């Protein structure tokens, strides 16, 4: 098995910045000096380099800022399903950015284009990479319905370009978010002179592409170690010009997190973030209180507009009744029978479109019937699986290549790549990170306090003996089916279907929450507090997604308004 290994370089960005640092004594301070040591900051000769001119995080492409705050999560006006899975609890979320609209077919096909160009599916070794990211267009088929038009056209026809993408499972949505992170940061670094102009188009290949984490850990190995692409900004070359024939020993010439340029990762929003953003209670705020409760992302208790110019118009795309997906043809229907183009309806008070109706949306959380607010009420999220860069005994980091790439076979037989070549291989954290910590003790925390061994009534706190596999299966809290699927050397599916009649639930660590109503749902599901779950490796014609990004720095950049 071939792997690329290299030593991570302790590099910092060279930022030509000067700033006045103050101290208790004016005599001991000087312009551009550290208030801790008095040493000069950003000295051209070397030493500590720091971006002292940093102002604020730039707004990511396609996103709007959402100022965090406190709210009552899970508060619905009705519980007609009697699920008892949304008990009200008080939560606080930090400020974040969220996509203005759902991810569209246009956005997703750009992703498909990039993957197809970099990892051509015509080459046998790359085939599974491309096939693993393509949405399932067969989700439109129905035994008693003619939907072949959508099956053949919905994903790629320009008529549906600005419609939300569907047929994407949770795993694919997560991988799209990772890809988007790399492409946005790649563009920023090119703009700032750290990468060769247009290399992302003209020079990208399977063995030479950009990964944010690879660039941060070992920039010299980005783009396959091509020095003509990964520029040393600020390093003087033999001709005296920056970036040309630069000295290989130069330091402080690559962008790092301390530069303030590289954005945090795109990701799926947590359930708490999504619900908070959908409610947009900021529109009902008066001083330090919320004026009443919102049933929908808009004000009022009805799905039709009460405004004079649009009175009677539907405010979302949803199923109004049996056989009524759009209303009577003509005036005042909801404008759509299947999905609708994004921004067809008015945004909520955060400026977010389609937070109710059109398509339901994947969120990051593993589903449990109860949100454990006793364990945490700050940035609540169930699903943490902590990983770290794979580092060998010799202290080197390992890149994913076509020789060591890992694939997963999903329950429906679809093969997906765990990482793309060029990214850093990941492994679970171990006792080096968990020892003597109080806030986490394992790598996988998906079933913490609700499904793990300590949660069951069979757990013996005084017994240190390891349970057998049969005992583990008998004593597990969530008695869900355990199917498995794999492929043999010929590529044929090997299915092991759990036929036990003793299974009592479909809840396990691989089902994810999805929120919001869709074009297939009745008005009840438009309530942001409603919640459902679906297997993370399956897709439908009514679940899409949008991305979020954490905000770094102050809670808000705006001056507080008293009203």
CB 156 within 8 A of CB 105: yes
Tokens at 468, concatenated = 């057998």
Query: What pLDDT, on the 0 to 100 scale, is given for residue 120?
Result: 95
Q: What is the DSSP string of 66-101?
A: E--EEEEET--S--TT-------EEEEE--EEEESS
Tokens at 392, concatenated = 């060998």
Query: What pLDDT, on the 0 to 100 scale, is given for residue 248?
Result: 52
User: What are the residue ranges in the chain where pLDDT is below 50?
Assistant: 1, 6-29, 236-240, 243, 245
Burial of 352 per CB tally in 10 Å (0-12, 13-18, 19+): buried
Quick one: three-class SS letters along 271-335? HHHHHHHHHCHHHHEECCEECCCCCCCCCCCCCECCCCCCCCCECCCCCCECCECCCCCCCCCCC
Q: Give the C-alpha separation, 488 to 107, whole Å.
A: 35
Query: What pLDDT, on the 0 to 100 scale, is given for residue 172?
Result: 97
From the list 382, 481, 385, 340, the residue with the least C-alpha distance to 91 is: 382
Q: Give the C-alpha separation, 47 to 53, whole Å.
A: 18
Q: Give the C-alpha separation, 155 to 145, whole Å.
A: 19
Q: Give the C-alpha separation, 137 to 212, whole Å.
A: 31
Per-residue buried b or exposed e for 509-530, using 16+ beta carbons within 10 Å of the residue's own CB: bbbbbbbbbbbbbebebbbbbb
**What is the pTM for the complete model shown?**
0.90
Query: What pLDDT, on the 0 to 100 scale, is given for residue 43?
Result: 83
CB 337 within 8 A of CB 417: no
Q: Give the C-alpha separation, 516 to 543, whole Å.
A: 9
Query: What pLDDT, on the 0 to 100 scale, is given for residue 460?
Result: 82
Query: What pLDDT, on the 0 to 100 scale, is given for residue 21?
Result: 40
CB 163 within 8 A of CB 107: no
Give me the long-range contacts of 387-394 (CB less than 8 A, separation at least 24). 387/426, 387/427, 387/428, 387/429, 387/443, 388/426, 388/427, 388/428, 388/429, 388/433, 389/213, 389/217, 389/424, 389/425, 389/426, 389/427, 390/424, 390/425, 390/426, 390/427, 392/5, 394/5
Query: What pLDDT, on the 0 to 100 scale, is given for residue 393?
Result: 72
Query: What pLDDT, on the 0 to 100 scale, is given for residue 342?
Result: 97
Sign of CA dihedral 376, 378, 383, 388: negative
Per-residue buried b or exposed e for 136-148, using 16+ beta carbons within 10 Å of the residue's own CB: bbebbeeeeeeee
Query: What pLDDT, on the 0 to 100 scale, is given for residue 249?
Result: 52
Beta strands 360-366 and 543-544, pairing class: parallel
CA distances from 544 to 137, 173, 268, 538, 541 (A): 13, 8, 11, 12, 8
Report DSSP state, residue 261: -
Which residues is 385 bridged to in the sheet? 444
Q: Give the C-alpha separation, 441 to 539, whole Å.
A: 33
Measured from the Cβ of residue 289, the count of other Cβ atoms closer than 10 Å reads 8
Cα distance between the two ends of the chain? 64
Measured from the Cβ of residue 327, the count of other Cβ atoms closer than 10 Å reads 16
Burial of 325 per CB tally in 10 Å (0-12, 13-18, 19+): middle
CB 467 within 8 A of CB 476: no
Q: Give the C-alpha separation, 336 to 213, whole Å.
A: 42
Query: What pLDDT, on the 0 to 100 scale, is given for residue 115?
Result: 97
- Give backbone dihedrals phi and psi of 230, rounded to 5 degrees, phi first: -85, 100
Count CA atoms closer than 13 A to 221's CA, side-chain side.
24
Q: Phi-psi category of 291—alpha, beta or left, where left has phi over 0 and alpha has psi -120 to 50? A: beta
Measured from the Cβ of residue 189, the count of other Cβ atoms closer than 10 Å reads 25
Q: Give the C-alpha separation, 86 to 515, whole Å.
A: 12
Rounded to the nearest 5 degrees, what angle is found at the Cα of 339, between the Cα atoms of 334 and 342? Answer: 85
Q: Collapsing DSSP states into helix, strand and coil, what is residue 115?
A: helix
From the list 416, 371, 342, 388, the residue with the least C-alpha distance to 270 is: 371
Query: What pLDDT, on the 0 to 100 scale, is given for residue 24?
Result: 46
């Amino acid at each position: 098995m071939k792997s690329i290994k290299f030593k991570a370089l302790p590099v910092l960005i060279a930022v030509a910045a000067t700033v006045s640092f103050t101290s208790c004594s004016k005599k001991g301070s000087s312009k551009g000096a550290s208030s801790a040591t008095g040493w000069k900051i950003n000295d051209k000769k070397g030493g500590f380099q720091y971006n002292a001119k940093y102002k604020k995080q730039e707004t990511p492409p396609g996103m709007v800022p959402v100022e965090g705050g406190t709210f009552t999560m899970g508060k619905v006006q009705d519980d007609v399903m009697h699920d008892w899975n949304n008990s009200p609890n008080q939560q606080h979320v930090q400020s974040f950015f969220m996509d203005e609209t759902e991810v569209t077919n246009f956005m997703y096909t750009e992703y498909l284009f990039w993957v197809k160009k970099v990892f051509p599916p015509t080459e046998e070794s790359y085939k599974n990479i491309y096939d693993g990211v393509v949405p399932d267009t067969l989700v439109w088929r129905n035994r008693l319905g003619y939907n072949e038009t959508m099956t053949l056209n919905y994903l790629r026809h320009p008529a549906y370009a600005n419609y939300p993408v569907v047929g994407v499972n949770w795993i694919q949505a997560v991988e799209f978010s990772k890809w988007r992170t790399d492409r946005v940061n790649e563009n920023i670094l090119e703009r700032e002179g750290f990468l060769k102009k247009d290399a992302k188009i003209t020079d990208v290949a399977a063995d030479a592409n950009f990964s944010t984490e690879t660039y941060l850990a070992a920039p010299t190995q980005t783009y396959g170690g091509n020095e003509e692409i990964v520029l040393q900004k600020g390093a003087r070359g033999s001709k005296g010009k920056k970036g040309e024939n630069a000295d290989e020993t130069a330091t402080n010439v690559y962008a790092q997190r301390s530069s303030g340029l590289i954005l945090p990762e795109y990701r799926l929003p947590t359930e708490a973030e999504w619900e908070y953003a959908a409610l947009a209670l900021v529109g009902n705020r008066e001083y330090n209180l919320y004026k009443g409760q919102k049933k929908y992302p808009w004000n009022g208790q009805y799905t039709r507009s009460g405004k004079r110019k649009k009175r009677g118009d539907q405010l979302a795309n949803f199923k109004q009744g049996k056989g009524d997906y759009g209303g009577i043809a003509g005036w005042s229907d909801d404008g759509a029978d299947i999905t609708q183009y994004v921004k067809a309806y008015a945004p909520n008070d955060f400026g977010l479109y389609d937070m109710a109706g059109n398509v339901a949306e994947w969120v990051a959380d593993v589903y449990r019937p109860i949100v454990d607010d006793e364990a945490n009420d700050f940035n609540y999220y169930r699903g943490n699986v902590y990983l770290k860069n794979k580092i060998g005994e010799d202290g080197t980091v390992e890149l994913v290549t076509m020789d060591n790439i890992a694939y997963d076979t999903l329950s429906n037989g679809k093969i997906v790549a765990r990482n793309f070549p060029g990214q850093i291989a990941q492994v679970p954290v171990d006792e080096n990170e968990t020892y003597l910590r109080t806030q986490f003790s394992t790598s996988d925390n998906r079933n913490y306090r609700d499904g793990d061994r300590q949660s069951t009534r069979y757990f013996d706190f005084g017994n240190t003996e390891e349970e057998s596999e049969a005992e583990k299966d008998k004593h597990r809290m969530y008695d869900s089916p355990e199917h498995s699927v794999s492929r043999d050397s010929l590529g044929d599916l090997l299915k092991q279907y759990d036929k036990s009649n003793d299974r009592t639930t479909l809840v396990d660590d691989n089902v994810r929450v999805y929120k919001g109503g869709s074009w297939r749902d009745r008005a009840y599901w438009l309530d942001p507090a409603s919640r459902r779950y679906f297997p993370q490796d399956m897709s439908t014609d009514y679940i899409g997604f949008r991305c979020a990004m954490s905000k770094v720095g102050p809670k808000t950049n705006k001056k507080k308004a008293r009203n």
